[in-house]
Amino acid sequence: MQIKKGDTVLVTTGKDSGKKGKVLKVLPGTNRVVVEGVNRVKKHTRPNRALPQGGIQRIEAPLHASNVMVVCGKCNKPTRVGHKFLSNQEKVRICKHCGEVLD
């Protein structure tokens, strides 16, 4: 996957399109990401020790990785992700707009 935990991403499709957020979790097995403050759903919880009265919680649900774009830190634009090898044979992600290293 080209998206990593901690990246800032822009949602491109769906009910939350146009929102930016930080990636909280990456699920590579299903090709999904969880973004902070985006795709919030209601989850009904049973009473337990942490939440004695139970209730309804709002949590972030996973989005498909194809519905988000990484935002470059330098040019502050949503960008496609490229790869490049540095002189010490280290593979890094780069911004396709400005060529800045994203890692």
77 shares its domain with 63: no
Rounded distance between C-alpha atoms, residue 75 and residue 67, angstroms: 21
Res 1: pLDDT? 85
Res 103: pLDDT? 77
Res 17: pLDDT? 96
91 shares its domain with 62: no
23 shares its domain with 42: yes
pLDDT along the chain (103 residues), means of 10: 94 95 97 96 95 94 96 93 91 92 86
Question: Which residue, among 14, 65, 77, 66, has the nearest Cα to 40 in the 3D structure?
Answer: 14
Rounded distance between C-alpha atoms, residue 70 and residue 48, angstroms: 38
Residue 54 token pair? 């139970």
- Please give the single-letter amino acid code of residue 48: N
What values do phi and psi take at 63, rounded to 5? -110, 155
Rounded distance between C-alpha atoms, residue 92 and residue 6, angstroms: 16
Q: Which domain holds residue 41?
A: 1-46+54-71
Count of structural domains within the chain: 2
